[in-house]
Each structure stands twice: as structure tokens, then as C-alpha cells.
Structure 1
Amino acid sequence: MQPNLPIVSFDRKISPSIPTIQSNNYDAGMQIAQFILRMGKNKIAIIAGAKEDYYPINDRIKGMIKVFNTYHKEVDLTSLNASDSIIAKKITIQQILKHTQYEAICCTDDITALLAKQCTDDLGLTPVITGFDGTILIQNLFPHLITAQQHIKELAELMSDLLLHQINQPHEKLESVYTLPVSLINQI
């Protein structure tokens, strides 16, 4: 926490003196919710991948909730424990799905979305499922996943540029937050 060191942060606001680079999580949440509404879905679940780490996902959830509330959609919000095993997370998701037939499940990350997809397949359910991150690996392995894609290359380049700027011009003040856009990927 020495402010004289060159430091940048990704997705976590550590201090106003340390630049934070982030994706536009709020807009991503809104894009996902708008997509779900265009699909005509009404009974919606939002599953947060980790209740212990709400900083970046909180804006995703807020964006979704804003759109869903604007159109008076029924939304159930739940979260998983980050420290739980994959099996424990799947059991939690299955318990959620046994009580309500959701038309859409909006997840705050791609891994949670993929777990939800496995659970819905096991239960013979077919809701629309969305995620967040959209890495090349996920796109290649699961090309049909609807997800908000962070532009990782641009995020990394900006982080590197800002870090080099701090090293080469240590007395020049930088912005406290840099927010990059996201893109919704859907193959439907």
C-alpha cells in the first residue's frame, strides 16, 4: 500500500491513488437483461458466482436489476459460496432449480453459467442461460454460451501502458478509474 510504487489494479478499487482498470460491468448487466427481455423471458434467476466478492459482480447485478425492474419482471437473486467445491456449487444450483421453473438464468460469470447449464441439462430444463467474461477459451469450448465479453487484450494493454506511464513519469497523476466497454456474445 505504498502510494509511491507503480501499481495498477484490475476490477478492484484499492485506493483513489491507484488506477483501477475495469470493464463496464453495469452496462454488461443491462445488455444481458435487455437480451433476456428480447427473448420474451419473464421468470428470471440471477446467480452470483461468489457472494464473498461482490465488487465487480455487484455492478453486473445492478445493471440487470435496473432493466428487469423497469419492465416489472420477477427476479430471484441468489449467490454461491466461492470456497465451495464444484460439486457443492452444482448441488446448490440444483436446489435452486428444483423449486422454480426459470425461463432465464443470468450468471455473473461464465463458470457459474456452465454449471447452471449442466444442472438444467441434468434436470431436463431449457432456460436461456447467460454468463460474463467471454474469454477465448470459453468461446472455443462453449461457443453457444451467451456471455458479456470483456476485452481482455485491451484491458491488459491499458494496464501495461498505465504501469509504464507510472514508471516513466512518476509525478504525473493518472485517473482513478478507467472503464472499457463490453460486448454481448450470443449465438442464438
Structure 2
Amino acid sequence: MATIKDVAKVSGVTVTTVSRVLNNRGYISEITRKKVYDAMAKLNYQPNELARSLFRKKSNFIGLIIPNVAHPFFAELTSFIEYYAYKQGYKILICNSYQDSVKEREYVEMLKRNQVDGIIMGSHTLETSDYLVPTLPIVAIDRNLSHDIPYVTSDNYNGGVLATNLLIDKGCKKLVHISGPLELNTPANNRYEAFMDVVKNRGVEYVIIQAKLDIFESYEKLAYKLFKEQPDIDGVFASSDMIAASIIHVANEIGREIPRDLKVIGYDDISIAHMIVPPLTTIKQPIEQMAELTVKILIDQIEHVEVKLENILPISLVERKSV
């Protein structure tokens, strides 16, 4: 296996010069740079990235911990995070936590050991705050990790208000809100708070159901149980488009026509929302802008630029055919 000394010998320069080329430090003429690159290609030399990162005290790697990259919302978010990070010269290490606190802990420690420059945390269990000491830059998405870790979210409360009011304005008399796990301290809980404020203010009957962040089949089971136990519901505000899609699918299976018999509103406006039959009315989160801002905040921290702790982006109501 070729070494840096071999590269120096073939290119006719010193080891120090090769090191400066690899780490892009100081002035190097294009002729010298080409000699080094040609020698590396000839020898099939692969630089030791860990050694280089220790030398530069920067790896240009960012860790991303999310619950499940197979979930459409996190898939879109991850895609945009990777795009904007790459534009700024960073690569992403993706970790699926599946909301497992042990896995989260192991991933955080692994990322630290591998000298990442920062961590984007999109996953959060009850135990997370016990070990997320900000010894390196961290930014959270839709999560309150601690009082000194910045986070990016959307205007969840306003989204909940818009969704709940629309269902009532469309004539719904008994609503159900399907939320995420409310015991977690997340900004998304503001959707639930908004729902509760609106239904109580307008005197509408309601039901609350908590759903875990899971896969489509589990959401289907939740939907069948809901229709069996609450056959008279006529409006659903789901905390994600995937849950809303499952509600619509099961409603179609049991013969409840949408929107005549049941009106459904989702949250996120993922790419499949307009392809659901009927197309889903939803609260649009600015997923791309959230990803771009998250990357910017993390890089600002890496570069020792002061950042805002609370970053809330506006939402909008996208009305289609499910209400």
C-alpha cells in the first residue's frame, strides 16, 4: 500500500508539500498540485481521512440521527439536508435510531469518536437529554433537547388552529386528533395544544389518540380500531400525512366516503400527499427550508458564529379534496 512518502518521491516534492496539497494549506502552484495528484493516481494512494481530520481539526462530516429514513417525511428531510450540506462542503453520516434510546446513545458516541464536526438530531427519546452534552455543535429538528441547543421547527400551533377550524367550518361535529407521543417534549405537541384550544372554544366533541412514529401497517391498525370504537367521528386531524393516508385507505376499505362521510387533514405536505385518493388536504411544513436552515445553523456553530436558539418557520394550509 502506497504511503505519503511514496507520493512525495514519485511527484518529486517533499512530504510536507504533499501534506499541504492534501490539506489545502498554504500556497501551492497548480503545476505542483498536478504533480501530486498525478502521483496519487499512479500509486492509487488513498489519504487517511481520520488522520487528516485530526491534523485539520475538522472532518467535514456531519452526523444526522433520525427515527427512520424510510418514513417519507424524514426521507425528504434527509435528502434536502444532504443537498445543502454537500453544497457547503460537508458529507452526511445517517443514523436510524428507531426511537431507541440505546441506539441513540451509541450513535452519538460513535459520531463523536469519528470526529464529526457536528450533529443534526431529528430523533429524541425521553432519555436523550441525559447524554447530549453540547461538547460539539448540535442542532435539533422539531425537538427541544435542552435550553442551550438550537432547534428548527415550523409554526405547529398555527397549523393546528388552521386544520381544526377548517374541519369545523366544513361541518364536522365530532373530531379526532391523532397526535404523536405527547410525553415527549417536542414543538409538534403544539398541534395538540391548538386542537384542544379550538375544539373547547367552539364547543365541538373530540377524541385524542396518540400514535407512535411507525410504519404504514401500524397506522392502518390504529385506523381500524378508531373506526370500530368511534364510528360516529366525521373529522380527523392527523399529525402526519402518513397517518392521514392510512385513515383514508381504511375509510375506503370500510365504505366511508371521503369527504362526504369523513373529512381528513394531514400535516407535512410530503410529496405523496397530492397522489392520495382523494388528494389530501394538509398543513404544509417548509421541509426544504427547514433542512437548509438546519444546515446553516450547524455550520455557523462549527465556525463559531452566534445562532438563534429558537427557529420557527411559517406553515400554510394546502386545501385539496379530503375535506
TM-score (normalizing by structure 1): 0.87
The 5 A counterparts of 1:10-89 are 10-50=141-181, 55-82=186-213, 86-89=216-219
CA gap of 1:166–1:134, structure 2 versus 1, over 3 A, is same
Structure 1 residue 4 displacement after superposition: 4.3
Q: Secondary structure at the match of 2:208?
A: strand
Structure 1 residue 52 displacement after superposition: 6.7
For residues 93 and 52 of structure 1, the distance between their equivalents in structure 2, rounded to whole angstroms, comes to 21
For residues 29 and 101 of structure 1, the distance between their equivalents in structure 2, rounded to whole angstroms, comes to 22
For residues 145 and 12 of structure 1, the distance between their equivalents in structure 2, rounded to whole angstroms, comes to 26
Out of 176, 180, 183, the residue aligned to residue 316 of structure 2 is: 183
Structure 1 residue 31 displacement after superposition: 0.7
Whether 1:110 aligns to 2:241 is yes
For residues 184 and 148 of structure 2, the distance between their equivalents in structure 1, rounded to whole angstroms, comes to 22
Question: Which residue number corresponds to residue 9 of structure 1?
Answer: 140
Question: Which residue number corresponds to residue 111 of structure 2?
Answer: none
Preserved contact between residue 142 and residue 187 of structure 2 (Cα < 8 Å): yes
CA gap of 1:138–1:72, structure 2 versus 1, over 3 A, is same
Question: Percent same amino acid among aligned pairs?
Answer: 25
Question: Which residue number corresponds to residue 74 of structure 2?
Answer: none
Whether 1:152 aligns to 2:287 is yes
For residues 7 and 73 of structure 1, the distance between their equivalents in structure 2, rounded to whole angstroms, comes to 41
Q: Secondary structure at the match of 1:160?
A: helix
Question: Which residue number corresponds to residue 39 of structure 2?
Answer: none
For residues 152 and 175 of structure 1, the distance between their equivalents in structure 2, rounded to whole angstroms, comes to 19
For residues 186 and 177 of structure 2, the distance between their equivalents in structure 1, rounded to whole angstroms, comes to 16
Out of 244, 252, 274, the residue aligned to residue 121 of structure 1 is: 252
Preserved contact between residue 142 and residue 153 of structure 2 (Cα < 8 Å): yes
For residues 183 and 255 of structure 2, the distance between their equivalents in structure 1, rounded to whole angstroms, comes to 30
Say which is worse superposed, 93-102 or 66-75, in terms of deviation. 93-102
Unaligned runs of 5+ in 1: none
For residues 87 and 163 of structure 1, the distance between their equivalents in structure 2, rounded to whole angstroms, comes to 35
For residues 86 and 161 of structure 1, the distance between their equivalents in structure 2, rounded to whole angstroms, comes to 32
Preserved contact between residue 144 and residue 185 of structure 2 (Cα < 8 Å): no
Greater share of strand: 1
| Counterpart residue type for residue 98 of structure 1 | K
CA gap of 1:175–1:112, structure 2 versus 1, over 3 A, is same
CA gap of 1:53–1:146, structure 2 versus 1, over 3 A, is farther
Q: Post-superposition, which runs of at least 4 consecutive aligned residues in structure 1 deviate over 3 A?
A: 49-54, 85-89
Question: Which residue number corresponds to residue 267 of structure 2?
Answer: 132
Question: Which residue number corresponds to residue 141 of structure 1?
Answer: 275
Preserved contact between residue 51 and residue 81 of structure 1 (Cα < 8 Å): no
Query: Over residues 31-87 of structure 1, what are the superposed CA-to-partner deviations in whole Å (9 max), with x where a residue is unaligned?
Result: 10111122121111112255675624321111111111110000011123445x643
CA gap of 1:92–1:139, structure 2 versus 1, over 3 A, is closer
Preserved contact between residue 248 and residue 264 of structure 2 (Cα < 8 Å): yes
| Counterpart residue type for residue 313 of structure 2 | L
Query: Over residues 161-187 of structure 1, what are the superposed CA-to-partner deviations in whole Å (9 max), with x where a residue is unaligned?
Result: 21222122x1x5422211111111112
TM-score (normalizing by structure 2): 0.53
CA gap of 1:81–1:21, structure 2 versus 1, over 3 A, is closer
Query: Over residues 113-156 of structure 1, what are the superposed CA-to-partner deviations in whole Å (9 max), with x where a residue is unaligned?
Result: 01110111111113001111102x22353371011110012111
Question: Which residue number corresponds to residue 92 of structure 1?
Answer: 222
Structure 1 residue 160 displacement after superposition: 1.8
Aligned residues: 184
| Counterpart residue type for residue 165 of structure 1 | D
Structure 1 residue 97 displacement after superposition: 0.7
